[in-house]
Structures are given as structure tokens and as C-alpha cells.
Amino acid sequence: MSDVTKVYGEATIGVDDLDIEVRDGEFLVLVGPSGCGKSTTLELVAGLQRPTGGEIHIEDQLVNDVKPQNRGIAMVFQDYALYPHKTVADNLQFGLKYTTDLDKAELQSRVEDIAELLDITELLGDKPTQLSGGQQQRVALGRAIARDPSVFLLDEPLSNLDAKLRTTMRAELLELQEDLDVTTIYVTHDQTEAMTMGDRIAVMDNGYLQQVGTPNEVYNEPENKFVARFIGSPSMNIFTGTIERSEVTTPLFEFSLEDGPDHGYQGPGKIGIRPDDVEIHEDESDGLFRAPVRVIEELGSENLVHLDLDSDVEGEFIARVDERVRPKTGDLVGVSFPEEAVYLFDGDDKAVKHRQMR
């Protein structure tokens, strides 16, 4: 995709000046909040929408004017879009009847092979209403696989499944994509899905591409504050302050960068720290500042401590701590974090310092 833009009406921008090269055999995840343009991007690649500007190539062919059925793509929708009056077998072979010259025996053989691959052979005679959500998802995938596409397009295919089944199906999807070695573009709003599934992740917001990189890159080296906050759960804690060479000042604390200023920025900015890097001290006199505990979430192997801070912090301030750290609601605790874990952002929210890898 090169300089791709999609404008609705006179002013509503769906996608603006989008440049992404999807590598052969890659699993690329488009992620971002609702309305960011990720589904629009997928539909542009599929040919369901026409770009206002720019070029879309599939295997070196310009496809802006190519009909969807001739693009060599297969798409799986969020609601699976199965034909309710047809059996699983009929759903699997439906598209093949109109896009191939396979005879009846060849169609049957293709369906049986796909059913065996997806472990749904015993369901071939059933109709979609008789299937669970996970089984319907497998059928939808099978219908896409049957076309032997050059590109898979998956639009939030796991969002209708329960949490446990989503985890299982994520692993199965990855194994399937690796076995088939098909270039795949996967849309989700769930950053956990993006981090666990993507070879690379494209983070979008308000129609604009914010960053493309490996899961490690977008997590540890975000290009701006939006990516830093969106990738990671709980979100990065952000303070508003001033950056002056090796000193960072906020209304709550002052922080010295003893390793020296290698970022070259001075002026208004933000300081970020991930919840995993926050240290909680039961002795409130320890640390950079102190704050009351608003609530604590006990998750078994770890606890999430929510602190009650003022409006100088974007959103909530959360610390992810060891299960043995269990302050009570209302307790005053000390808060600190190591220098190497700090992120800095300039006045335009561009990252000027990333945390150092452990």
C-alpha cells in the first residue's frame, strides 16, 4: 500500500496517506481503537472499498481497479458470514463452485482435506446453527483456505468467542498460518492479540499509521505517546512535566537522569513509566513521592495497585507488583522507579528516550 487515502463525503477521513509493505508470508496485525481505520484498510485491500488516492499492490499487481474475486484474497469476517441454510460442506465449497473449474469429485476431495486440517470432519453434515462459536470460526477459516489465496484478510475473527477459547484459537490460527505460509493481515482492537500473534504490528489512530514494528519494538521503543499508552496492559503511566537536560520536573517529583542527557531535548514534555517498573514501598517516606492506595486488584501471581493521584497524571496510575506486596485501600505508600525504565516524550508527544532493555 502506497500513499493510500480513503475519504468519506467531503471531509471524513477513514485512512490518510497510508504506507505499509506486507512481506511475503508475514502475519501483520493492524491494531488500534475503534474508528482508527484498521477495518477500512482491510476492506481497501479486499476491494470492498475503493481508495480515494494512492495505490494498492498484491504480488506486484496494481489492484485498485481489480474486482474482489480476482485479487487472490480470502476474507474472514467478525460474524463469520456463513450461509445458515447450507451444511458445513456446502459452505466450504460454495466459493469454489464459482471461482474454479473443479468437478464434483475434486470439490469433495478439497472439502475433505480442509475439514481434516481443521478437525471438523464430523461436522460436514451439520448446519451453522448447530455449531459452537469456535466451530463456526473454523468453518469460516476453512472456506477461506479452500480458495488457496495469496493473502488472508481476517477482520477480528475471534472477538465473538469467550476468553478461554480466544486463547486456544489464537494458537491454532498461528499454527495454521505457519503451515499454509500465506501472507496474512489481521485486524483487532485487542493489543494482547496483536502482541501474541503478529510478526509485526501496525498501530493506527484516527486514520493515521502511528508505527510499524515487531511486538518487541512497539512495546519497548514506541515512536510516540499514543503507541506507548496503547501497547501494554495496564497502560503506561504518564506524567506532565518539564525536561531540562538531565532533570525532569513534575508537580509531584523531580527526577535526575544520572547517565546524562542523550536525547537532546529541553522543554515541556511527558515522563512515562510502565506499571511493571513501578516500585511500591510500604514506608511512605521512601521513593520519589507518596500517594494513597485507591484500590488493589489481587490476581493471584501478582497485584495491581491503583494509586489516587491528581490530574497531572493521564488516566490512572497503576503499579504491577509481586503478590506479596498488598497494601490496603487508603494506605499511604512510597513510589519509585529506576532511571533505566523511564521514557521521555517531547512537547509533540514524540519519544525522545526509551527505557533500557534489561
Tell me which residue of 217, 164, 178, 221 sits closest to 194, measured CA to CA. Answer: 217
pLDDT of res. 123 = 92
What is the CATH number that goes with domain 2-220?
Answer: 3.40.50.300
**Region 345-349: what's the mean pLDDT?**
94
pLDDT of res. 149 = 87
Within the chain, all domains assigned CATH 3.40.50.300 are found at: 2-220
pLDDT of res. 85 = 93
Q: Give the model confidence (pLDDT) of 204-215 as tens digits.
A: 999 999 999 999
Query: Which residues lie across from 272 on neighbouring strands?
Result: 238, 343
Written as one letter, the residue type at 51 is P
pLDDT of res. 263 = 66
What proportion of the chain, given as a percentage, has pLDDT over 70?
97
pTM over 0.85: yes
Q: Where on the phi/psi map is residue 315: left (φ > 0), alpha (ψ -120 to 50), or beta?
A: left
Q: If you search the block for the grid coordinates 496503547, which residue do you land on?
A: 230
Written as one letter, the residue type at 67 is K
Rounded Cα distance, 134 and 160, in Å? 9
- CATH class, domain 235-353, is mainly beta
Within the chain, all domains assigned CATH 2.40.50.140 are found at: 235-353
- Does pLDDT of 43 surpass 80? yes
